[in-house]
Structures are given as structure tokens and as C-alpha cells.
Amino acid sequence: MDTTAPAIESLDTDTLREVDRCDACNARAYVQVTFSGFRSLLFCGHHFAAGEVKLRATALDITDERWKLALSETQRNKVTA
Ligand SMILES: [Zn+2]
């Protein structure tokens, strides 16, 4: 077996964990915004949406995992079906 072949890395990024919390409200974070100096802030879907225009204008990088919000219920149903 060829172990050098790259694993089928997730099509989805999976950077943010359940322990990652929104810096504004402490809900689960779904977006990580990195600024120059590699400082970063975490946002729930609600607070990222609230500041999205400003954040996109100033961020170096944005990890947006809000797809989890849409898929989690469907995937949970698939797993348990
Ligand atoms: Zn929040």
C-alpha cells in the first residue's frame, strides 16, 4: 500500500472546533478572521454577518465554516439513519 499518496483531505475546511467560541458572544465560532500580525478573532455566524463588510475590508484571511450550520443537521440525519 502506498502511504505517500495524499489522503483525501477534506473538501471542507475543518479548522474550527466546538471549543472555539465567538469573541463577541461566546457562541460556537464558525468564522475565523485573521488580521495583519496574525492576530485573529473568532465569530459566530451572527456576529460575522453583522460585521462582514468591515471585516472583509481589513482581514488578511477569513476561514468561513458557516457551511457547517447548513449541513450539520442533514449530516447528523445521514449518520444516524
Ligand atoms: Zn457571536
pLDDT average, residue stretch 40-53: 97
Cell (9 digits) for 16: 474550527
Q: How far is the CA of 36 from the centre of ligand 1 (A)?
A: 22
What are the residue boundaries of the structural domains of the chain, listed by start? 31-80
How confident is residue 27, by pLDDT bands cut at 50, 70 and 90? very high
Neighbours of ion ligand 1 (CB under 5 A): 22, 24-25, 27, 44, 47
Q: Which residue's C-alpha cell is 464558525?
A: 30
Q: How far is the CA of 31 from the centre of ligand 1 (A)?
A: 10
How confident is residue 69, by pLDDT bands cut at 50, 70 and 90? confident
Kindly report whether the global pTM for this prediction surpasses the value 0.75. no
Average pLDDT, the chain: 83
Give the three-class secondary structure for 37.
helix
Question: Shortest CA distance to 18 belongs to which of 65, 56, 59, 78?
Answer: 65
Torsions phi, psi for 5 (to 5 deg): -65, 135
What single DSSP character describes residue 66? T
For 11, other C-beta atoms within 10 Å of its C-beta total: 6
